[in-house]
Homo-oligomer: A and B are copies of this chain.
């Protein structure tokens, strides 16, 4: 825990701008007086790309390295071909800064609308691998655009990459009351990657006899997400399965407006990056309808990562209390930010 925070801010596209403003509002309100917060905003995303053709130039990638952390809003716009910004900016950052822990807590807060009948008690965290799997850009296409086209996507998995994320997940599971860790993969079909994941999971598990372990195929896991989500405590899984499962997890815990995430490099070699799970939602950008709570909860993860545990908890408790007292009337992006800033300032 330092006495200053040098934060990079990438508002990005669509509602990214609006929700990041609220995240910063709450961050400012919660920080102790003597902690100096410096922010630098980076103009990256769809507008920049349209203007200059750049997604993430080397100079900016270099500059980003010198921050303590990054707060990101959302990336992506229908005016940009699918994949350009995602791969040229968002994934580029995750890979360049070796964000191998993609941390996505899922909690059903009081008084939030879950689509699930019976409101199960949901409180788990997905530890998604962030630097391997089918996200490495190892694919190609041959005879593109012809009837003889062949397109491949290669999922690359290394023992190095799998062991570090599995170990992190065991540590997290060991520190939680229920101490349960579920590996999700598809090792009956993706046998090479799947068996490697399972073998490493079993091997590392021997060092954590206090942690109960479990394995599920990804298809079966989606069933339990809706029929028995309370069975999960910590889940560890690959990059793509984690992507899919955490959107589903967000949906069952009150929606994507509440789902926070951290792209974490626990070694500290590079800054970690915190962002809501939701996208840029261009359809509601500028209307004041965006819920900034996911970004504000991402700020809590950011604070925890930088050692401000007390402040992180204060934000999480504020969100919980705020949701519990909500009466269903519409509140704008700004109003939610104000309410949470007031609560954490306390």
Write out the residue numbers on chain B whose beta carbons fall within 8 Å of the beta carbon of A219.
243-244, 246-248
Write out the residue numbers on chain B whose beta carbons fall within 8 Å of the beta carbon of A196.
141, 144, 149, 151
Could you say which of B135, B140, B192 contacts A152, with CB atoms under 8 Å apart? B192
Q: Given contacts A83-B187, A141-B192, A244-B218, is CB(A152)–CB(B149) below 8 Å?
A: no
Tell me if A199 counts as interface (CB < 8 A to partner B): yes
Tell me if A37 counts as interface (CB < 8 A to partner B): no
CA distance A134 to B218 in the complex (A): 14
Closest to A239 in B: B189
Tell me if A147 counts as interface (CB < 8 A to partner B): yes
Tell me if A145 counts as interface (CB < 8 A to partner B): yes
Judging by beta carbons under 8 Å apart, are A222 and B247 in contact?
A: yes
Tell me if A267 counts as interface (CB < 8 A to partner B): no
Q: Given contacts A134-B155, A226-B116, A247-B220, is CB(A87)–CB(B189) below 8 Å?
A: yes
Tell me if A157 counts as interface (CB < 8 A to partner B): yes
Shortest distance from the beta carbon of A62 to any chain B beta carbon, whole Å: 25
Write out the residue numbers on chain B whose beta carbons fall within 8 Å of the beta carbon of A226.
115-116, 226, 248, 251-252
Judging by beta carbons under 8 Å apart, are A153 and B190 in contact?
A: yes
Q: Given contacts A248-B223, A251-B222, is CB(A190)–CB(B150) below 8 Å?
A: no
CA distance A118 to B218 in the complex (A): 26
Tell me if A146 counts as interface (CB < 8 A to partner B): yes
Write out the residue numbers on chain B whose beta carbons fall within 8 Å of the beta carbon of A83.
187-189, 191, 194-195
Tell me if A227 counts as interface (CB < 8 A to partner B): yes
Tell me if A193 counts as interface (CB < 8 A to partner B): yes
Interface residues, chain A, with chain B CB atoms under 8 Å away? 76, 82-83, 86-87, 91, 114-118, 134-135, 139-141, 143-160, 163, 186-196, 198-199, 218-220, 222-223, 225-227, 240, 243-248, 250-252, 255-256
- The 9 A-B pairs of least Cβ separation, nearest first, read A219-B247, A149-B159, A222-B248, A139-B192, A83-B191, A223-B251, A151-B192, A117-B117, A153-B155
Provide 18 A-B residue pairs closer than 8 Å at the C-beta atoms, listed in order of the A residue.
A76-B188, A82-B198, A83-B195, A86-B189, A115-B116, A115-B227, A117-B118, A134-B134, A134-B190, A139-B193, A140-B192, A147-B160, A147-B163, A153-B155, A153-B193, A219-B246, A227-B251, A248-B248
